[in-house]
Chains A and B, each alone.
Chain A
């Protein structure tokens, strides 16, 4: 369970901060330009932060399937990643991953 007070402090700060990011340049002026160098660095943010969520969550998860040493989540993730590279489909990646993990752990 997420404690109520803790939840609302986080959500409110995140909401205010996000609106500040979205609105700052519009509020400032039409002339603010972001340098190409900074733009390029911004495009690396997903590559820098998303794997930091994914890797520990799947690798350190204690699974139930002995013959993959309880690492079924990591195995399915690799397969789902390959599927995602090929299909570029969010829906296919998520559905495949959930179904594959379900089948993996049920048999």
Chain B
């Protein structure tokens, strides 16, 4: 688990810090963390709620960000089928980029599915501990940091750090540039609906960029 902690700790700290910056209570911060447990969507939700975006925009944006979990869940599904319900539920709840990465890196080392699940659950518990403690540390920092430091600026910075590793070739870079420009043009749409429109247009562009010859 240690190799992935450097990616989680600063991100958790940003989550805690921006929650404090948005005047969320400690209880609000901790409970959102406990029941959603998906960093990027939480930070996005806090950012949108600060501007009182429409509820459907907040929820739909968060869910689009979390849609990638569907892929991880599909990979995990055959491994956990023989386990009791509680373990299945816990395994599903702990699906994250990191738990998936750790699991797939070790895939060949397990003799049985049960052994893989035991390992997976162990790494999820580590993840939960690291994530919750870094968010709490960030929350404390956010409340005590001098006002001259623009903590809200940590949101765009952390999103850049999330985005860059996903830009695998020029098609991804094109989509990112397209999305930047369109989001500026659509910024005046009410209740931050421009965000949703930009995301859908961006996916549409990706669809055209990646279509194979012979497709309609």
- A interface with B by C-beta (< 8 Å): 1-3, 6-7, 9-15, 17-19, 21-30, 32-34, 39-60, 73, 76-77, 80-81, 84-85, 88-91, 93-95, 97-98, 101-102, 105-106
Kindly state the separation between the CA atoms of A22 and B88 in the bound complex, as whole angstroms.
11
Report whether over half of chain B's contact residues are helix, strand or loop; otherwise say mixed: helix
7 pairs across A/B with beta carbons < 8 Å?
A: A15-B35, A18-B37, A44-B202, A52-B194, A94-B10, A98-B157, A101-B150
| B166 surroundings in chain A (CB, below 8 A) | 43, 46-47
Report B34-92 residues with CB < 8 Å from chain A CB. Answer: 35-38, 40-42, 44-45, 47, 49-50, 52, 55, 58-59, 61-74, 76-78, 80-81, 88-89, 91-92
Complex Cα distance A29/B24, Å?
39
Please report B residues at the A interface, Cβ cutoff 8 Å. 6-7, 9-11, 14, 22-24, 28, 31-32, 35-38, 40-42, 44-45, 47, 49-50, 52, 55, 58-59, 61-74, 76-78, 80-81, 88-89, 91-93, 95, 148-151, 153-168, 171-173, 175-177, 179-184, 187, 194-195, 198-199, 201-203, 205-207, 210
A1 to B44, CA, bound (A): 16
Q: Which of A42, A52, A90 contacts B195 (CB 8 A)?
A: A52
CB of A50 to closest CB in B, whole Å:
4
* A95 (CB) vs chain B CBs: closest residue: B10
Q: Is B160 a contact of A84 with CB atoms below 8 Å?
A: yes
The answer, among A21, A90, A106, for a CB contact under 8 Å with B67, is: A21
B153–A17 touching, CB < 8 Å: no
- Known contacts A51-B176, A52-B179, A10 near B58 by CB under 8 Å: yes
CA distance A89 to B37 in the complex (A): 22
A14 engages B195 (CB within 8 Å): no
Chain B residues within an 8 Å CB radius of A80: 157, 160
B70 and A24 form a contact (CB under 8 A): yes
Q: Are B157 and A44 in contact (CB under 8 A)?
A: no
- Chain B residues lying within 8 Å of A56, measured Cβ to Cβ, are 183-184, 187, 194
Partner of B11, one of A19, A43, A90: A90
